[in-house]
């Protein structure tokens, strides 16, 4: 499953990388090096496996980031926004590839045998699901991401609209930017709606919220088995498991519902790692499949609620009238649209190369009915 690469210890080692990047040609073990040395090797497709002090490795990684990530001034909307987006994605991919060339060796049982290294076993178990029988090489940047994700998983995210916390492991979409949940908490929910389908439930946050709003019968689906397990744990923690049935399934469950809700990926672009598939979806495939099947799965008088941001429009990835055309093609009509402005930090980050688009973003809940 993971590629093997030659190392300076005359052995081959498994190279584990979450993204779709090509593996390095080889890996060289080093106890000490500066950022320039690691970067020079990285540009020659050689990974550096750090064997010295863990904190020093983190400092070297931070220095590499400073050198590689040159700030881009972008307050002005560029003449060609689509090219600006694709250039940004390409730059991100190149930077990530280079930064991933500083690695550590993870021993059997997820042991990290380096001076001042933290215990990473629980964080790696969260990611891989089971212990490792042999050692492997892992980019330090990813290890740090796994550790951060594990802390969030333990701590959970407070969801105001839910009056509770949602716990999300690495690999499942996290409702960290939760403005769309405010829309779901306030959208008019017909008292006659007894059955709901939540398509692509992820952490289960939408299903849990609708259960808390009083819907007695909800079916939540997701194709990602990690998401299904995560949602089950969240439902049990929040005491709503009796109202929700979970299914690892593509799109719709059997039958019909009074309300069908979906928050698909918002950007029609290519993901570069499995975790990005919740954000990027080439050609808006899930959105189109959801809209295309909604009418056939709605009871008479039922509604489909679509959560979608217009960021794709500000990035030139979707024409302004395209969503309306998709509704028409799917024989759906908009009853009402609720809007909200993002509140998360990224929307106000002027150093973000996509700030010109993010600052204009609006998130919407479309209430649709079959025509
Ligand atoms: C943007 S996330 C939304 C997660 C959650 N509903 C929320 O709002 O926080 C999209 C989810 O759809 C799931 N997904 C993608 N394609 C799917 C499909 N064909 N059928 C069911 N779920 C799918 C992904 O695994 C992911 O969990």
Q: What is the pTM of this model?
A: 0.93
Tens of pLDDT, residue by residue over 42-85, are 999 999 999 999 999 999 999 999 999 876 655 677 778 888 88
The pLDDT profile of the chain, 371 residues, written as one tens digit per residue, is: 899 999 999 889 999 998 888 999 999 999 999 999 999 999 999 999 999 999 999 999 999 999 998 766 556 777 788 888 888 888 888 999 999 999 999 999 999 999 999 999 999 999 999 999 999 999 999 999 999 999 999 999 999 989 999 999 999 999 988 899 999 999 999 999 999 999 999 999 999 999 999 999 999 999 999 999 999 999 999 999 999 999 999 999 999 999 999 999 999 999 988 888 999 999 999 999 999 999 999 999 999 999 999 999 999 999 999 999 999 999 999 999 999 998 877 767 777 778 888 888 999 999 999 99
User: Does any ligand 1 atom lie closer than 6 A to the CB of residue 223?
Assistant: yes
**Which of 265, 309, 297, 305 is CA-nearest to residue 283?**
265
Tens of pLDDT, residue by residue over 289-315, are 999 999 999 999 999 999 999 999 999
User: 75 exposed, middle or buried (CB, 10 Å; 0-12, 13-18, 19+)?
Assistant: exposed
Q: At what angle do helices 54-68 and 140-155 cross, to 10 degrees?
A: 110
Q: Which domain holds residue 227?
A: 158-370
> SS3 for 224?
coil
Shared-domain flag, residues 169 and 311: yes
Shared-domain flag, residues 365 and 316: yes
User: Does any ligand 1 atom lie closer than 6 A to the CB of residue 251?
Assistant: yes
Q: What is the CATH number of the domain that holds 174?
A: 3.40.50.150
Q: Which of 173, 200, 260 to mutate to test the pocket of ligand 1 (most atoms within 8 A of CB)?
A: 200
Residue finishing a domain among 116, 137, 152:
152
Shared-domain flag, residues 205 and 353: yes
Total of domains in the chain: 2
Shared-domain flag, residues 291 and 324: yes
201 contacts: CB under 8 Å, gap ≥ 6: 207, 220, 221, 222, 227, 228, 231, 246
Confirm if 85 and 352 have CB atoms less than 8 A apart: no
Q: Which of 171, 199, 202 to mutate to test the pocket of ligand 1 (most atoms within 8 A of CB)?
A: 202
146 contacts: CB under 8 Å, gap ≥ 6: 120, 123, 124, 126, 127, 170
Shared-domain flag, residues 208 and 330: yes
Phi and psi torsions of 199, nearest 5°? -95, 120
User: Which residues is 120 bridged to in the sheet?
Assistant: none
User: Does any ligand 1 atom lie closer than 6 A to the CB of residue 203?
Assistant: yes
Q: Which of 172, 173, 253 to mutate to test the pocket of ligand 1 (most atoms within 8 A of CB)?
A: 173
Residue finishing a domain among 100, 122, 152:
152
User: Relative to the CA of 172, which ligand 1 atom is closest?
Assistant: 27
């Amino acid at each position: 499953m993971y590629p093997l690469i030659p190392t300076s210890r005359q052995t081959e080692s498994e190279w584990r990388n979450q993204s779709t990047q090509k593996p390095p040609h080889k890996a060289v073990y080093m106890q000490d090096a500066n950022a320039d040395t690691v970067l020079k090797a990285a540009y020659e497709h050689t990974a550096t496996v750090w064997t010295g002090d863990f904190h020093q490795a983190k400092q070297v990684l931070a220095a590499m980031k400073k050198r590689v990530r040159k700030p881009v001034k972008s307050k002005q909307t560029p003449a060609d926004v689509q090219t600006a987006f694709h250039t940004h994605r390409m730059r991100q991919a190149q930077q990530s590839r280079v930064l991933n060339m500083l690695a550590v060796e993870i021993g059997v049982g997820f042991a990290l045998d380096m001076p001042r290294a933290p215990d990473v076993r629980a964080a790696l178990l969260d990611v891989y699901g089971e212990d490792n029988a042999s050692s492997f090489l892992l980019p330090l940047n990813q290890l740090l991401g796994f550790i951060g994700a594990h802390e969030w998983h333990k701590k959970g995210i407070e969801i105001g609209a839910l009056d509770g916390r949602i716990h999300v492991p690495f690999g499942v979409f996290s409702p960290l930017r939760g403005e769309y949940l405010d829309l779901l908490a306030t959208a008019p929910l017909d008292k006659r709606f007894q059955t709901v389908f939540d398509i692509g439930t992820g952490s289960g946050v939408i299903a849990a919220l609708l259960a808390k709003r009083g819907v007695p019968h909800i079916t939540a689906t997701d194709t990602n088995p990690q998401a299904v397990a995560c949602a089950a744990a969240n439902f049990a923690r929040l005491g709503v498991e009796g109202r929700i049935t979970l299914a690892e399934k593509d799109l719709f469950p059997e039958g019909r519902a009074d309300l069908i809700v979906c928050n698909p990926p918002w950007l029609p672009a290519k993901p570069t790692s499995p975790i990005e598939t919740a954000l990027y979806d080439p050609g808006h495939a899930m959105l189109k499949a959801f809209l295309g099947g909604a009418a056939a799965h709605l009871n008479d008088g039922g509604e489909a609620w679509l959560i979608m941001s217009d960021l794709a429009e500000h990035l030139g990835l979707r024409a302004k009238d395209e969503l309306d055309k998709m509704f028409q093609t799917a024989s759906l009509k908009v009853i009402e649209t609720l809007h909200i402005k993002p509140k998360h930090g990224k929307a106000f980050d002027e150093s973000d190369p996509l700030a010109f688009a993010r600052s204009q973003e609006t998130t919407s809940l479309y209430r649709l009915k079959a025509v």
